[in-house]
């Protein structure tokens, strides 16, 4: 069952969508792909796809809150994305800055606990300032956790975790023989978060793109041909219904 207590209106919404509350994922992670492709297919500048993609972000967050999902993690900007044209990057940073401010009231009204994962280095000061303010204001909220992966790389996360563990060993605080999976998990950006149960990717690409490489070891993957600007609550419900039909064995056998 989801960790967040479900209200009667939530149960009604789940029933209307054909969803079983006992078979919901605790944590959904999303690779929001296809903004630029969506725009180019319509003869628009790539930035228009990013602009419209914010609406899909908003509707997905709102629907996950309504359905009682415990955590939603959105892949907003990878470290590889810095290779894009500077004009597009400047627009993305401005869009992120405006989003962090514009959605602050909604975050508080929806009782969302806001956080981010990824490296802070390279992000504009104005973006970091609004990130920190949203984290501070929402730190005592008890509803869904919203994690934005910004300037994120799964490989970089693992490298940073190993560096942190090596420092502990060098300081004599940790014996190499005592390093295990829990040690590494606790050193990741996502320490304390549940691993994703469901990974959604839009725009039809069949790859994980350096996203949560450690954490998605047993996540169910669901890919849609829809580009991110076209992703809506109906598509989310479809992914959740498909997830509910799957048998999750985690490497074991269901002998029942």
Strand segments, DSSP code E, in 52-144 are 71-78, 113-117
Torsion angle (degrees, nearest 10) of CA 205, 80, 135, 60:
-20
- Spell 45-57 as b/e; 16+ CB within 10 A means b: ebbbbbbbbbebb
Q: Tokens at residue 193, please?
A: 């978060």
Annotation marks residue 33 as catalytic: yes
- Say which of 81, 111, 141, 210 is annotated catalytic: 81
161/181 Cα distance (integer angstroms): 12
Annotation marks residue 125 as catalytic: no
Neighbours of 151 (CB within 10 A): 20
Among all residues, which ones are annotated catalytic? 33, 81
């Amino acid at each position: 069952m989801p960790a967040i207590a479900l209200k009667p209106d939530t149960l009604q919404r789940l029933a209307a969508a054909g969803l079983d509350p006992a078979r919901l994922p605790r944590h959904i992670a999303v690779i929001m792909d296809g903004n630029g492709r969506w725009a180019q297919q319509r003869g628009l500048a790539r930035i228009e796809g990013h602009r419209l993609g914010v609406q899909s972000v908003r509707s997905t967050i709102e629907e996950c809150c309504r359905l009682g999902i415990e955590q939603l993690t959105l892949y907003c900007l990878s470290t590889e994305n810095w290779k894009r044209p500077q004009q597009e990057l400047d627009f993305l940073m401005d869009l992120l800055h405006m989003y962090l401010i514009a959605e602050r009231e909604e975050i508080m009204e929806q009782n969302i606990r806001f956080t981010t994962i990824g490296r802070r280095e390279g992000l504009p000061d104005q973006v970091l300032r609004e990130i920190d303010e949203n984290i501070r204001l929402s730190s005592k909220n008890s509803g869904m956790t919203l994690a934005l992966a910004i300037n994120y790389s799964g490989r970089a996360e693992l490298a940073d975790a190993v560096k942190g563990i090596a420092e502990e060993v060098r300081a004599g605080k940790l014996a190499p023989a005592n390093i295990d999976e829990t040690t590494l998990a606790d050193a990741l950006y996502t320490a304390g978060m549940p691993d994703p149960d469901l990974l959604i990717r839009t725009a039809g690409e069949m790859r994980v793109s350096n996203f949560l490489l450690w954490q998605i070891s047993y996540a169910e993957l669901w890919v849609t041909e829809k580009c991110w600007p076209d992703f809506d609550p109906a598509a989310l419900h479809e992914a959740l219904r498909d997830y509910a039909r799957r048998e999750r064995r985690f490497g074991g056998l269901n002998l029942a």
